[in-house]
Amino acid sequence: MNKKQKKMLARIIIAAVLLIVLHFVPITGIPRFICYLAVYLVIGYDIVKKAFKGIKNGQVFDENFLMAIATIGAFALAVYEKSGDYNESIAVMLFYQIGELFQSYAVGKSRRNITELMDIRPDYANIENDGKLEKVDPDEVEVGSVIVVQPGEKVPIDGVIVEGNSSLNTSALTGESLPRSAKAGDEIISGCINMTGVLKIKTTKEFDESTVSKILELIEESSSRKSRSENFISKFAHYYTPAVCYGALALAILPPLVNLVLLHNPAMWGQWIYRALTFLVISCPCALVISIPLGFFAGIGGASNAGVLVKGSNYLETLARTKYVVFDKTGTLTKGVFEVVGVHHNTMEEKKILEYAALAESFSSHPISRSLKTAYGKEIDQKRVTDVKEISGNGVTAKVDGISVAVGNTKLMKRIGVEAVECHQVGTVIHVAIDGAYAGHILISDVLKPTSKEAIVNLKKNGIKETVMLTGDIDKVAQQVAGELGVDRVYSELLPADKVSKVEKLLAKKTEKEKLAFVGDGINDAPVLSRADIGIAMGALGSDAAIEAADVVLMDDDPMKIVKAIRIAKKCMRIVYENIYFAIGIKVICLILGAVGIANMWVAIFADVGVMIIAVLNAIRTLFVKKL
């Protein structure tokens, strides 16, 4: 609990204790009135203050006004009738404040889930001053300044490395678990953690415009985009509250007047004013105006806690109605990096072929070279390698331990007069010739993510009608990947503009109620992310384009997060509708009972505070997400 909540809890306890004590103290008349008034002010002074402030500002009809009028009216009625029973008015205010405390705690828990999601905000930036490092607030660093980031520190502001080499942990931003190397001349984004060497960075943006700030802004403002359900509740409360106030006024005046003028019976003002006050308490729309936005806010909080950033409650509503999911292949369903998936030998064992290939390619920075070195898995002694020649579009020739080694494609094999064995598997084939003889080939391909197939299966279990894959790869590769994953439909050899065109055709085929989601890596897919009903970017928080274009951003590259996001959205919408039907249903029943005099103030307390607490407790269930 925060300080404000603790203060409210103390007020509730004090008021409850005083109310119990006064029940057993035998005082009457003015002393009794003063004592109960003091208890009322302890628990309700802020509500009365807000009500008067609302009247002053022209915003009369809100829940504060309803509670103030109802409780003050009940208090005045007890004075008028000389009953001395002030318990009801204080009890109404007491239980209302308990409900408000529940609501405040639930919102606070949701907010903590969101803000604690990513501990990426830097506390300081290091500026070198007379050979010493001085810690300053990142907000104070101007564009073009040189900052120093030591090992273990967060990069506070976007910039370009001017001095130093290091490895960067970017997992909080991109979802990539492997460290990323960084050297002088490379661009670097805020939020990364410097792991090894000292870096000097020339800032290219102010802190407010940096990647970290944009992400934090996205998190903090996610509740500003309202869903249709929230907008409906806001409009409903706007017209509903004045209507019930005028209805209560009519209930207090018209029946006694009719009774007096037409039937010539006593007016019974006290009885009908009491019914009107009960009617006001019952009619207070707290359960709706609090629990519905809270349901969405808790949904966003629960999603954030599960590693899914949703930009607003309107996107939760859209996500819940999603029936078609379209995937980009590379970086979404596959890892997007080359890996050795097979070594096929001819005259030499596999490990030896891989060793010769990795050593021959050890001086190259090509992605294929890096994948060979990674697959070899041992420290490479470049002293063993001489006479390295990189032939553009062919491959590499070198001498390893004095033995001639050629590593490349079929063109290189023809160039050196070696006959290569054809490989029928899908992927990039690297042929290896050793000492002038064909030794075998290494198959490299973009491998599937471990959970991609499971994600497709679970999407269908969660009501997705069709899954589609879009890719720029050749059809043979695309069909193999789609077949392994169980994707319903695949379109291959597409340019970025072709992907937009395909999504538009898919959008035209679905019904208005059905929604289409596009899932991409967020870097090259901004146009398609924007065009779909809802765009989902995977592990792309380091990309400005992803943050701007996507409606939902996943914290890592796990496709199962898509399933989790849809399940959270559906659970959130189910709870929201439960609260709407429950709150309105109970209100209508109790309003009728209150109008005819069956429901008293205690029933009114349940209809207002009781329903609100139940609705709030139901709403915060969206915070808790089951593991898949």
Q: Where are the domains of the chain?
A: 125-220, 336-448
Measure the CA–CA gap between 359 and 155, rounded to whole angstroms.
Answer: 35
Measure the CA–CA gap between 478 and 316, rounded to whole angstroms.
Answer: 31
pLDDT band per the 50, 70, 90 thresholds, residue 592? confident
Residue 243 in this model has a pLDDT that exceeds 60: yes
Q: Choose between 471 and 496: higher pLDDT.
A: 471
- Span 512-527, average pLDDT: 82
The pLDDT of residue 23:
80
Residue 438: CB partners within 8 Å, gap ≥ 6?
346, 347, 413, 418, 419, 420, 421, 431, 432
pLDDT band per the 50, 70, 90 thresholds, residue 280? confident
List, for residues 477-495, the tens digit of each pLDDT value.
788 889 999 999 999 888 7
Instruction: Provide the 3-class DSSP secondary structure of residue 282.
Output: helix
Buried b (16+ CB within 10 A) or exposed e, 214-223: bbbebbeebb
The pLDDT of residue 199:
92
The pLDDT of residue 57:
81
Instruction: Provide the 3-class DSSP secondary structure of residue 127.
Output: strand
List, for residues 123-175, the tens digit of each pLDDT value.
789 998 877 888 898 888 888 899 999 988 888 898 999 999 888 876 555 44
Measure the CA–CA gap between 47 and 71, rounded to whole angstroms.
Answer: 10
Buried b (16+ CB within 10 A) or exposed e, 545-554: bbbebbbbbb
Span 336-448: which CATH code? 3.40.1110.10
Domain 125-220: which CATH number of 3.10.20.90, 1.10.3210.10, 2.70.150.10, 3.40.50.2300? 2.70.150.10
pLDDT band per the 50, 70, 90 thresholds, residue 423? confident
Measure the CA–CA gap between 609 and 587, rounded to whole angstroms.
Answer: 11
Q: Which of 260-269, 380-389, 476-485, 601-610 has the lowest average pLDDT?
A: 260-269
The pLDDT of residue 545:
63
pLDDT band per the 50, 70, 90 thresholds, residue 611? confident
> Tokens in use for 90?
């204080």
- Span 308-327, average pLDDT: 88
Residue type, 266: P
The pLDDT of residue 229:
59
Measure the CA–CA gap between 356 and 349, rounded to whole angstroms.
Answer: 11
386 CB neighbour count, 10 Å cutoff: 11
Of 382, 387, 379, 431, the C-alpha closest to 409 is: 431
Which string of DSSP letters, residue by residue, matches 377-414?
-S---GGGEEEEEEETTTEEEEEETTEEEEEE-HHHHH
Measure the CA–CA gap between 191 and 177, rounded to whole angstroms.
Answer: 14
The pLDDT of residue 465:
93
The pLDDT of residue 169:
78
pLDDT band per the 50, 70, 90 thresholds, residue 277? confident
- Give the dihedral sign, CA 238/241/243/249: negative
pLDDT band per the 50, 70, 90 thresholds, residue 319? very high
The pLDDT of residue 190:
83
Report percent pLDDT > 70 for the chain.
85
> Tokens in use for 186?
């490379």
> Do residues 387 and 380 make contact, with C-beta atoms less than 8 angstroms apart?
no
- Residue recorded with tokens 């002393």: 31
Residue 107 in this model has a pLDDT that exceeds 50: yes
Q: pTM for the full model?
A: 0.66
> Tokens in use for 28?
């009457």
The pLDDT of residue 527:
81
Residue 120 in this model has a pLDDT that exceeds 70: no
The pLDDT of residue 357:
92
Instruction: Provide the 3-class DSSP secondary structure of residue 14.
Output: helix
Q: What are the beta bridge partners of residue 407?
A: 396, 432
Q: Choose between 220 and 139: higher pLDDT.
A: 139
Residue 627 in this model has a pLDDT that exceeds 70: no
The pLDDT of residue 294:
74
Residue 92: CB partners within 8 Å, gap ≥ 6?
67, 70, 71, 74, 281, 601, 604, 605, 608, 609
List, for residues 362-392, the tens digit of each pLDDT value.
887 676 788 888 888 888 888 899 998 988 7
Instruction: Provide the 3-class DSSP secondary structure of residue 551.
Output: coil
- Residue recorded with tokens 């639930």: 106
2: exposed, middle or buried (C-beta count within 10 Å: 0-12, 13-18, 19+)? exposed
Residue 50: CB partners within 8 Å, gap ≥ 6?
64
121 CB neighbour count, 10 Å cutoff: 16
Measure the CA–CA gap between 69 and 410, rounded to whole angstroms.
Answer: 88
Query: Mean pLDDT, the chain, as a whole number?
Result: 81
List, for residues 440-459, the tens digit of each pLDDT value.
888 887 788 889 999 999 99
Of the ranges 265-269, 432-436, 585-589, the best mean pLDDT one: 432-436
The pLDDT of residue 175:
41
Which residue stretches of 168-226 are H helix?
171-174, 211-220
Measure the CA–CA gap between 628 and 625, rounded to whole angstroms.
Answer: 9
> Do residues 357 and 406 make contact, with C-beta atoms less than 8 angstroms apart?
no
- Give the dihedral sign, CA 477/481/483/484: positive
Active-site positions read 328
Measure the CA–CA gap between 261 and 411, rounded to whole angstroms.
Answer: 108
